Amino acid sequence: MCGIVGYVGGQSALDVVIAGLKRLEYRGYDSAGVAVLADGGLAAAKKAGKLVNLEKELVSRPLPAGSTGIGHTRWATHGGPTDANAHPHLDNAGRVAVVHNGIIENFAALRAELAERGHALRSETDTEVVAHLLAECHSATGDLAEAMRQVCRRLEGAFTLVAVDADEPDVVVGARRNSPLVVGVGEGEAFLASDVAAFIDHTRSAIELGQDQVVEVRRDAVTVTDFEGAPAEVRAYHVDWDASAAEKGGYDYFMLKEIAEQPRAVADTLLGRIDAAGSLTLDEIRIPATELREADKVVVVACGTAYHAGLIAKYAVEHWARIPCEVELASEFRYRDPILDHRTLVIAVSQSGETMDTLMALRHAREQGARVLAVCNTNGSTIPRESDAVLYTHAGPEVAVASTKAFLTQLVACYLLALYLAQVRGAKWGDEVRAVIRDLAGIAEEVERVLETMEPVRELARSLAAKNTVLFLGRHVGYPVALEGALKLKELAYMHAEGFAAGELKHGPIALIEPGVPVVVVVPSPRGRSLLHDKIVSNIQEIRARGALTIVIAEEGDESVVPYADHLVRVPATPVLLQPMVSTVPLQVFACELATARGNEVDQPRNLAKSVTVE
Ligand code: M6R
């Protein structure tokens, strides 16, 4: 939800900021804008639409060269995606410019107050009030960082702000409450950004800002305080991936690259967590074993794809660790007064670590005394910072809005956690745990095998480009996979897509079946739980009898589905609980290809942004 970049140093601020915005465009692409300090003044340009529109504008109306600047790429909340609502926003004298990520909840009152004092506000945004307030405070204090502190004390809601003032040409100031902001520290230059990807070409030295902090960056100094002005503690860290990880690397889309990276991401997430004897070593779980033993329930909170990973985690936690597990959409969680106490273990799953709904859910859980463990892909982000412990997934940066490799690695982390709970609570013997770990260790190779056989899936997707609806059915762990397949299709192909538990079919959804409707069925393994398998084979026959076009995902060697499959997609045989690791992959490829066939933007689907940092 909005990408922010700030720069001060020896290079052209405009070039650095535009390059940074390109890396952050996944966060929002409704409009883009920049401001640079040059020749004793401030020059700005902004344009509705993607960054490319701004770049064209800068060719026809170049800005003067300067070495301090800020930029923004927007996901609109208050005010439509127009030039006027694009950031940066300036004060009336055009001396202060500010960019913002988040929502300022009390902006209406502040706006009315500013209007009374004679300020003319030109946009419909909540952000513009900040530029005017900063200008007032700056003229009183002559210090942009102090002005920012004074303004932040008056703001309600979630905000990352980055501002410059023409009277302080070598300074960029930022502030952070609930939304992300990191500092990049280079040689004689400094950066502020929503995500390290914006400055990874220049430096891998980063500083993680805490909640309610204001940062002032100069070429050779970074000063961080709280909103009252007291010096604040921060954590410096080294970014452990390089610029190539944030590039397409020869693929047409980031999503294709990220799908292809899944075997490596899965293997990396297991790395260092299995010892030489094949046992589980999760040193990072700093919650004492006694507490894990005493926990009487697990609650997983997450959104979107991460929620689907949580739904699968439930099967593993309950089956292996024999502890009740609830899974809840983070956006619903705290509003229903959930029963939580010190014996509840909450698992917050999030790729970005910044999803506001998940953050609010975990804060609520901690307030009630629950222990919170984050499963997260982004080092130093807010969700792990505010959790009692974190199990990082090692997917590397995920840029495409549609989540793929993050999902598979979330599954790996959840399987590991479930096994760890089983180990600590004595629900499984050591050799049983080791047997599952052996299966998990082989999964990366199986994912690779699935990827090698995807051409027929792509062909099938292209042939369905004109359809309006695709339905997805699954049972057991195949049900969340069906939900995930439908979510991918909605967000990428903009088609009506729904996932159902196959057993629910006859309770209503079967009315949607009419001749030619494609239905993707995720068939569980015939081994182990064959009753489940046989039931879904009956479901396939029921929909086929009503004219559905059946697309069956079934494991190699399962011949019983062959007569009922109009299209058969084979996945390697895996233990029942691990099947989502292989059965999700064809659905990702299917959605990506359908989106392309329909002429949609794969990496930046309409109306979406990668990190949802507002509720
Ligand atoms: O960063 P998070 O994992 O917390 O994000 C959660 C969802 O917003 C995310 O998974 C979203 O549903 C994806 N765009 C789905 O592909």
User: Which atom belonging to ligand 1 lies closest to the Cα atom of 608?
Assistant: 14
DSSP for 320-382 reads: II---EEEEEHHHHGGG-----TTEEEEEEESSS--HHHHHHHHHHHHTT-EEEEEESSTT-H
| Furthest CA-CA distance within the chain | 79
pLDDT at residue 249 is higher than 90: no
363 close to 283: Cβ distance less than 8 angstroms: no
**Encoded amino acid at 344, one letter:** T
Question: What pLDDT is attached to residue 339?
Answer: 94
Region for residue 545 given its phi and psi (left: phi exceeds 0; alpha: psi -120 to 50; beta: otherwise): alpha
Catalytic-role residue among 46, 47, 490, 610: 610
Known active-site residue 610: yes
- 141 CA distance to ligand 1 centroid (A)? 42
Tokens of 429: 């013997």
In terms of C-beta density within 10 A (0-12 exposed, 13-18 middle, 19 or more buried), how is residue 512 classed? middle
Would strands 371-376 and 344-350 be described as parallel, antiparallel, or unpaired?
Answer: parallel
3-state secondary structure at position 28: coil
Pairing of strands 297-302, 221-226: unpaired
SS3 per residue for 259-317: HHCHHHHHHHHHCCCECCCCCECCCCCCCCHHHHHHCCEEEEEECHHHHHHHHHHHHHH
**352 Cβ closer than 6 Å to some ligand 1 atom:** yes
Per-residue pLDDT for 28 more than 90?
Answer: no
- Separation of 349 CA from ligand 1 center, angstroms? 10
pLDDT in tens, 485-544: 999 999 999 999 999 999 999 999 999 999 999 999 999 988 866 788 999 999 999 999
Least confident of 153-157, 161-165, 283-287, 373-377: 283-287
- pLDDT digit string (tens) for 104-120? 999 999 999 999 999 99
User: Would the pLDDT of 386 be above 80?
Assistant: yes
The 10 Å Cβ neighbour count of residue 120 is: 8
Banded pLDDT at 42 (limits 50, 70, 90): very high
Q: Is position 2 annotated as part of the catalytic site?
A: yes
Neighbours of 227 (CB within 10 A): 19
Dihedral angle over CA of 285, 289, 295, 297, nearest 10: 40
Task: Give the position, in ligand 1's atom list, of the atom nearest the Cα of 355.
Answer: 4
DSSP H stretches of helix in 494-579? 530-545
User: Which protein residue's CA is at the shortest distance from atom 7 of ligand 1?
Assistant: 304
The DSSP bridge partners found for residue 535 are: none
d(CA 286, CA 422): 16
Q: 237-251, 334-348, 460-474: which range is least confident on average?
A: 237-251
Q: Which residue has the higher pLDDT, 244 or 232?
A: 232
The sign of the torsion formed by the CA atoms of 391, 395, 399, 402 equals negative
pLDDT surpassing 80 at residue 209: yes
Q: Rounded to whole angstroms, what are the CA distances from 223 to 10, 138, 140, 229, 349?
A: 19, 18, 21, 10, 32
Q: Can you tell me whether residue 190 is helix, strand or coil?
A: strand
Residue spans per domain, the chain: 3-246, 254-451, 455-597
Report which ligand 1 atom has the smallest distance to the Cα of 358.
4
**Dihedral pair phi/psi, residue 69, rounded to 5°:** -165, 170
Order of all β-strands in the sheet with 371-376: 325-329, 297-302, 344-350, 371-376, 389-392
pLDDT in tens, 388-439: 999 999 999 999 999 999 999 999 999 999 999 999 999 999 899 999 999 9
pLDDT value at position 529?
A: 64
pTM for this model (two decimals): 0.86
Question: What pLDDT, on the 0 to 100 scale, is given for residue 244?
Answer: 81
Domain 455-597 CATH assignment equals 3.40.50.10490: yes
Task: Give the whole-number percent of the chain exceeding pLDDT 70.
Answer: 100
Does 402 sit in the ligand 1 pocket, CB within 6 Å?
Answer: yes
**130 vs 42, 90, 161, 174, 285, CA distance in Å?**
17, 9, 9, 12, 41
- Residue 306 near ligand 1, beta carbon < 6 Å: yes
Give the ligand 1 atom nearest the CA of 407: 10
Q: Do domains 254-451 and 455-597 have the same CATH topology?
A: yes
Going by the DSSP 8-state scheme, the letter that residue 576 receives in this structure is G
Q: How far is the CA of 303 from the centre of ligand 1 (A)?
A: 6
**At 398, phi and psi to the nearest 5?**
-105, 115
Can you tell me which residue has the tokens 């060269």? 65
Mutate to test the pocket of ligand 1, among 355, 401, 494, 587 (most ligand atoms within 8 A of CB): 355
Using the mean position of ligand 1's atoms as its centre, give its distance from the Cα of residue 416 in Å: 21
Whether the predicted pLDDT of 174 surpasses 80: yes
Residue with tokens 């995720």: 522
Beta strands of 15-134 (E only): which ranges?
31-38, 41-48, 68-74, 89-90, 96-104
The whole-angstrom separation of Cα 25 and Cα 127 is 19
The gap from C-alpha 159 to its chain's centroid, in whole angstroms, comes to: 18
Q: Would you state the pLDDT for residue 51?
A: 95
Mean pLDDT of the chain: 94
* Tokens representing residue 72 in the block: 């923004």
d(CA 263, CA 258): 10
Pick the CATH number of 254-451 from 3.20.20.70, 3.40.50.10490, 3.40.50.620, 3.40.630.10: 3.40.50.10490
* Average pLDDT over every residue of 192-211: 94
Examine the pLDDT at 1 and tell me if it is beyond 80.
no
Distance from Cα 305 to the centre of ligand 1, integer Å: 5
CB 301 within 8 A of CB 358: yes
Specify which residues 570 forms β-bridges with.
Answer: 554
Task: Work out the pLDDT band at 144, boundaries 50, 70, 90.
Answer: very high
The rounded Å distance from CA 614 to ligand 1 centre is 13
What's the mean pLDDT in 161-187? 95
Judge whether 64 and 35 are in contact, CB under 8 Å: no
Q: Is residue 603 in contact with ligand 1, taking CB distance under 6 Å?
A: no
- List Cβ neighbours of 41 (8 Å cut-off, separation of 6 or more): 94, 95, 166
User: Would the CB of 403 count as within 6 Å of ligand 1?
Assistant: yes
Homologous superfamily of domain range 3-246: Aminohydrolase, N-terminal nucleophile (Ntn) domain (3.60.20.10)
Marked catalytic residue, from 2, 137, 152, 414: 2
Ligand 1 pocket member 612 (CB < 6 A): yes
What is the average per-residue pLDDT within 588-595?
A: 98
pLDDT band at residue 278 using 50, 70 and 90 as cut-offs: confident
Question: What radius of gyration do the chain's Cα atoms show?
Answer: 25
